[in-house]
Amino acid sequence: MMLKTPNEIDIVRAKSSKITEVDFENLSFGNIFTDHMLVCDFKNGKWEKPIIKPYEPFLIDPSAKVFHYGQAIFEGMKAYKDNQDDVWLFRPDENFHRFNKSASRMAMPEVPEDIFIGGLKTIVDLERDWVKKGLGNTLYLRPFMIAIGSGVIAQPSTQYRFMIILSPARSYYQGEVKVIIAEHYSRAANGGIGAAKAAGNYSAQFYPQKLAQEKGFQQIIWTDDATHTKLEEAGTMNVFFRINDTIITAPVSERILDGVTRKSLIALAKREGINIEERDVLVNEIVKAAKDGSLKEIFGAGTAAVVSPIVGFQYQEHYYELPKLENSLAMHLKEEITKIQYKLADDTFGWTVKI
């Protein structure tokens, strides 16, 4: 995959590295950050020159519009190191295009490819020692943009800050995942910003997720806002259902995020000859399949977890346990996508980009 090389980016190196203080065998997801960050501001109608500098807090005006009107978007990506110590990105072009779709929906300026992709390549190359070899070891990449223009009038900002921060990571979810199907709360609505990776989408989930966790569930399977009869996403992930030997997932829409892992799993399933359907998934359909034994698997898919199997779900106070399978299609697809990401299998799709 060929992507634009970066324009010149100023680099101010940290005086010393924190890397020797990090226990890479016992990482808590998203709490440790590398030595550097990329910063690029949008002012006076244009993007300024990006700079990579030591990771540190920064000052911002209390009236910055990100605090008052929520103009904030982000992406989640990973870098991988193969057995030859080469570092790879996975489908960064998809994250780049989705980031700018989110920016457009939130009335924010689009980020040029040489800043987004070029910035990623440059900072990951600088921090390549933070990418550890071995399955499960990754460097999580968080590009994001916030409105930094001051003033509390309710209108879009005229100034923005694009940044990239990096965090060494291992597996995201630990232990069994049980979910509850939402009957009242919704993740997103038609005409809203559900298809954007906007910060507000995630904060709105926290309260219903807290209620679910108090009942002993790790996540929620969200239903459509109008009827609560269609199953759409699981927590922060796209969700898949296996009935007999067919995998079903909801189509992307204004309410459902166009996940990079989601579309990759669909492509892999088609290559493997697995029957997969993108269509509305009804609550009643899944409950019926759970009762008659044809529901074999439910799994979430996203950058952080890759594939997260779900062991059971609750709906209307009834809990349905899923069978424990030796021939899990979820685990097969996870293995196939992971082998591509770590360069343990040929990338026939052209998804990987060498740093």
104's tokens: 């457009």
Q: What is the SS3 assignment for 320?
A: strand
Q: What CA–CA distance (Å, rounded) separates 340 from 55?
A: 31
Exposed / middle / buried, residue 341 (Cβ in 10 Å: 0-12, 13-18, 19+): buried
Tens of pLDDT, residues 63-94: 999 999 999 999 999 999 999 999 999 999 99
Residue spans of the domains in the chain: they are: 10-170, 178-341
Within 13 A of 159's CA, how many CA atoms are on the CB side?
13
In terms of CATH architecture, what is 178-341? Answer: Alpha-Beta Barrel (3.20)
pLDDT in tens, 266-315: 999 999 999 999 999 999 999 999 999 999 999 999 998 899 999 999 99
pLDDT band for position 261 (cuts 50, 70, 90): very high
Q: What is the pLDDT of residue 6?
A: 52
Q: Measure the CA–CA gap between 8 and 241, rounded to whole angstroms.
A: 46
Per residue in 188-237, pLDDT (tens digit) is 999 999 999 999 999 989 999 999 999 999 999 999 999 999 999 998 89
CATH number for 10-170 (one of 3.30.360.10, 1.10.3090.10, 3.40.30.10, 3.30.470.10): it is: 3.30.470.10
